[in-house]
Every structure is written in C-alpha cells, then in structure tokens.
Amino acid sequence: MAISKSLNVNGKQVSIQIDDPEMPLLYALRDNLALKGPRFGCGLEQCGACTVHIDGKPVRSCVKKLSDIKAGQRVVTLEGLGTPQNLHRVQRAFIEEQAAQCGYCITGMIMEAAALLERNPAPTDTQIKQALQYNLCKCGTHARIVRAVKRAARYA
C-alpha cells in the first residue's frame, strides 16, 4: 500500500508515493524525482557518489532512510547546489580545472567540498584530502579535485 512522503528538495516542497518508509533517500531522488546528480555507487556508505546535503551537512543518501528525514529538513542535490546557468563556485572551479575523468564520483566530491568550504573557507591541501578521504575515485582524478577545491576557496 503506497504511502505519501513529503520532502523539501532543492528548495521545493514535494510529495512522493512510496511502498516502504525505510527506502533510502537516494531512490526517492533518482527514481521518484528523476534527479541525476546523486549516484548509486555502493549502497553501503563507502564511496560517496550518492552524497547530498541535508540542512547543509553532507549525507550519504544511499543509506539515509526516508523515515529518518524530519519534516522541514532541507535536502539539496548537485542540481540544487547550482545550475548550468548559475553555477555554484565549487562547480565552476571543477569545470575550470577540468577535474573529472568519468565524472561518476564527482557529485560526491563537489557536495563534500562545498560543505567543507562552508566550515573552513581556506582549507590547506591536507585538510582537503582529509575531508575527501571517504570519497572514492577509481579513475585517479584526485590531484585535479584538490586543485579545484583550492580554486573554489579563492572564489569566496
């Protein structure tokens, strides 16, 4: 029996129909709301490809149960961070540094980096690497990603 769940996603209040209140947020975002930013990588909160912000904090949406999201909490995905016409500074910096190979992990890198810059506006290389250490990349784009985060910090 489908039930309704109300969510605030990218600044909009939406209502979705779900069969299981424990469904992870990732599937609501991708399947119910057709968002492509959050990506399925492991479903085990090990790789970070699914990262979104909830009230500004980076969260692994692949394990975040819908039932644990309270009314009024604000979910922001890569699409909500910035758009092609109005890029967030981290997106802009990643584009300028050409900081992607396949780009599948990049959602998580950008969301994690954006949260880092809110907490620490001028991180060192070491602090950037620590902040991103639980975000995996198999193509080996790490060096560019660090440069992109540093560039984004300069756009504050």
Partner 1 sequence: MNIHTSRRQILKGTGSLVVSFSLAGPIGEALAQGAAAPKPVALTEVDSFLAIDAKGFVTVYSGKVDLGTGVRTALMQIVADELDVPMNNVNLIEGDTATTPAQGTTWGSLTIQAGGVQLRNAAAAARIALLEEASKRLSVKPAVLKVTNGVVSAGGKRVSYGEMIGGKTFSLKVDHAKPPQSKDPKDFKLVGKSVPRVDIPGKMTGTFTYIHDFRVPGMLHARVMRPPAIGAKLQSVDETSIKNIPGAKVVKEGDFLAVVAESEWNAIRGARLLKTSWSKSETLPVQAKLWEHIRGTKIAKDEEYGKVGNSAEALAKGAKKLSATYDFAIHTHGSIGPSCAVAEFKDGKLTSWSASQATHNLCTQLAKMLGLTPENVRCVYLEGAGCYGRNGHEDAAADAALLAKATGKPVRVQWSRADEHGWDPKGPPTLIDLRASIDEAGNVTAWEHESWIPQQTPNGFLVPLVAASLTGLPADEHIAPGNIFQNSAIGYKFPNTKSVCHRLETTPFRPSWIRTPGRMQNTYANECFLDELAAATNSDPIEFRLKYLDPADKRGIEVLQRLIALAKWEKRASPRKNVSGNIVKGRGMSYVKYELVRTYIGTVCDVEVNRTTGEIRVPKFYLVHDCGQIINPDGLKNQLEGNVIQTLSRTLIEEVKFDRAQVTSLDWETYPILTFPQVPDIVMDLIDRPSEKPWGAGEPAAAVIPSAISNAVFDAIGVRVRSVPFTPEKVKAAMKGAA
Q: Is 142 in the site for partner 1 (CB under 8 A)?
A: yes
- The arrangement of strands across the sheet holding 51-54 comes to 12-18, 3-9, 74-76, 51-54, 57-60
Closest CA to 146 of 119, 138, 118, 116: 116
Q: Nearest distance from residue 65's CB to partner 1, in Å?
A: 11
Among 5, 8, 14, 40, contact with partner 1 (rule: CB under 8 A): 40
Q: Which of the stretches 17-25, 53-61, 68-76, 114-122 binds partner 1 when contact is defined by CB under 8 A?
A: 17-25
All residues at 6 or more sequence positions from 121 whose CB lies less than 8 Å from its CB, including other chains: 153, 156
Q: Which of the stretches 33-41, 53-61, 68-76, 113-121 binds partner 1 when contact is defined by CB under 8 A?
A: 33-41
Binding to partner 1 in span 51-70, by CB under 8 A = none
Q: Are 118 and 55 in contact (CB under 8 A)?
A: no
Q: Is 129 in the site for partner 1 (CB under 8 A)?
A: yes
Rounded to an integer, what distance in angstroms lies between the CA atom of residue 92 and that of residue 105? Answer: 17
Q: Is 23 in the site for partner 1 (CB under 8 A)?
A: yes
Q: Is 116 in the site for partner 1 (CB under 8 A)?
A: no
Pairing type for strands 57-60 and 74-76 reads unpaired
Q: Is 98 in the site for partner 1 (CB under 8 A)?
A: yes
* Site map 70..89 versus partner 1, x via CB under 8 A: -------xxx--xxxxxx--
Determine the 3-state secondary structure of 92 from DSSP. Answer: helix
Q: Is 47 in the site for partner 1 (CB under 8 A)?
A: yes
